[in-house]
Structure 1
Amino acid sequence: MSFDLTFECVLDLRCAVAESPVYDDRRNCLFFVDIGKGVLHRADLTGAGHVAWTFEHGACCVGLAQSGRLVLAQRDRVVLFDPESGTIAKEIASIEAERPDTRLNDGKVGPDGAFWVGTMHEAADRQRVASLYRVSADGTVERKVGDVICSNGLAWSADDSVLFHSDSRGPWIDRWQFDPATGEISARRRLVVLDEASGRPDGAATDVEGRYWSAGVSAGVLNCFSAEGELVRTHRFPVPTPTMPCFAGPDRKTLFVTSLLPAGASEDSRAGGIFVTRSPVAGAAVHRFEDRRL
């Protein structure tokens, strides 16, 4: 992959922690959250038509649902949100509500139609007390992976047979064999161990050729790995703290990347903005939460 990516800031929002961009092919728009401010955003792919909703209980990540609603992870619960009415339609599940030192973090809808979402330890000592969960539409919550500090980097291969998952504070990236019929995972394998200089793994996305794109939040890079963990290419990012890539557009070759605003950033910094570029390869298709009976 001998190509360079040129990023432009399409939304200069100075988000505290912009995360979880997801492309809605029905509406041809992008949804994403600002975790730091508890805000869900929607915008056209040009950056126009920007709308925002603020939640008292937070907004940590978001996915699409079959009904046209959104599945939204708040601090310690998963809800269905209707962007047409701007209201929460239903609470689906509560997760780690008894733990004030953790919160929900990265999440995506899997090929199995369930919402996969992980927690992170917020305390300064960063203990391995977080987990990755599978949330079904009927409210069933299954703990799938434990012994994590900051669950992140969820993405599935284009053929739905592989689940990628990272721990931003591990910092490592793993892959699992995935059964899209049951949501069962097996054959865990450590793909790569990273550090501050190479880019701690934050949010991620996959392309149709099997590569895994990881936001290196500590190094100002977007790292592209092969399915076997080989570093294919490192793309320099315009601001120091990219948080998650997302393939969008009808051809899924428009690549959006969110970012966070670090403490002490200058007034003219575009950190915390949403950036866009064109990719020579299409992203894997986005899945939808099976909520049609709710």
Structure 2
Amino acid sequence: MSFKVEVAYDAKATLGEGPHWDEANQRLFWVDILEKQLHIYQPHDNQMTTRVFDQYIGACVLTESGNLLLAMKNGIYHYSLLTEEKTKLADPEHTLPNNRFNDGKCDPAGRFWAGTMSLNEEKEQGSLYRLDSTGNIKKMLSPVTISNGLAWSPDQTYMYYIDTPTREVKVFRFDSTTGDITSTNQVIKIPPEMGYPDGMTIDEEGMLWIAHWGGSRITRWNPQTAKQLDEIPIPAKNVTSCTFGGKHLDELYITTARVGMNEIELEEYPLSGSLFKCKLPVKGIAPYLFHS
């Protein structure tokens, strides 16, 4: 299938990441981790506003009350969009100053899952955590190296997870009531020539859409058969994440990065760091909100 990819916003992000669709207000939140920026993109008038913070910001998710949770360098914070007040909820790695939070998402029951990594990408220095509405935070997987993409199956019985350097998407059985996960032998293996799996999302058919760092593409996979179904070429070297948005949840928003690219690569991929958009023949699932 051929796809039409367009630039939604030429942001020239250093490390664009973490797109989160605000269904109620028809806008997209996303971050530039290394620039410590939260972007708010409004498709209806193609405008983007930016809020700058005092530390790296790896991920953002909406709460049921219409505010945000931010996974940052020094912990997880509640952030008021109205007052811009930031309140720390948890800092499970306060004894690990060389770590930061990276990707994060809410599960179907409204718990926030977010993982960490070493600032210089040291092997197996990170973990995946789960934060619930009472403020209790629990380490769910450890050790990991670059905690990244998360998704849950439409029937809420599986969780999918990426630790980028493994080049694998691991499949876990998921108990939505307890939030517990159980390992399975199922795994999607990403071939080296396709780069590294980074962020991902899932459509209403239960198929995964995976962003490829160093691979200039988004791919669609069946997680039960571990077979690739489709591919969207992206005019950026490092594709970091994607999420469904739009009025009908049939537009894929795609984040990319410029970090680490040399002049020759930037000439080849001048749109690196842009926010891209692609209309799809399948719909996504609205992002889950943090239950507070």
Please tell me the TM-score bracket, short chain as reference: over 0.9
Aligned partners of 1:278 and 1:247: how far apart in 2? 10
Q: 2:249 aligns with which of 242, 248, 252?
A: 252
Verify the 8 A CA contact 1:72 1:81 in the aligned structure 2. yes
- Mapped partners of 2:165, 2:269: distance in 1: 29
Amino acid aligned to 1:283:
G
CA offset at residue 134 of structure 1?
0.2
Aligned letter for 1:105? N
Q: Tell me the secondary structure at the aligned position of residue 138 of structure 1.
A: coil
Runs ≥4 residues deviating over 6 A: none
Number of the residue aligned with 1:219 = 215
Identify the residue that residue 154 of structure 1 maps to in structure 2. Answer: 150
2:178 counterpart letter in structure 1: T
1:272 aligns with 2:273: yes
Q: Deviations for 1:4-63, whole angstroms, at most 9, x for unmatched residues? A: 211111110101111010110111100000001010010112462311111102211001
Structure 1 residue 186 and structure 2 residue 182: aligned? yes
Letter in 2 for 1:290: H
Structure 1 residue 267 displacement after superposition: 10
Q: Does the aligned pair in 1 maintain the 2:207–2:220 contact within 8 Å?
A: yes
Identity level (%): 27
Gaps of 5+ in 2: none
1:201 alignment partner AA = P
TM-score relative to the length of structure 1:
0.93
Residue in 2 that maps onto 1:102: 99
* 1:105-124 superposed matches below 5 A: 105-123=102-120
Match among 48, 53, 56 for residue 55 of structure 1 = 53
Count of residues in correspondence between the two structures: 287
* Residues 1-294 of structure 1: pairs in structure 2 closer than 5 A: 3-46=1-44, 48-88=46-86, 90-123=87-120, 126-228=122-224, 229-262=226-259, 263-264=261-262, 265-266=266-267, 269-291=270-292
2: distance between equivalents of 1:188 and 1:206? 19
Cα shift readout 1:54-106 (whole Å, capped 9, x = no counterpart) = 11022110011001001111113111111222332x21111212112321101
Looking at structure 1, the residues matched to 10 and 268 of structure 2 have their Cα atoms a distance apart, in angstroms, of 12
Segments of structure 1 that go 5 or more residues without pairing to the other structure are none
Query: What is the one-letter code of the residue matched to 1:210?
Result: G
2:56–2:100: 8 Å Cα contact kept in structure 1? no
TM, length-normalised to structure 2: 0.94
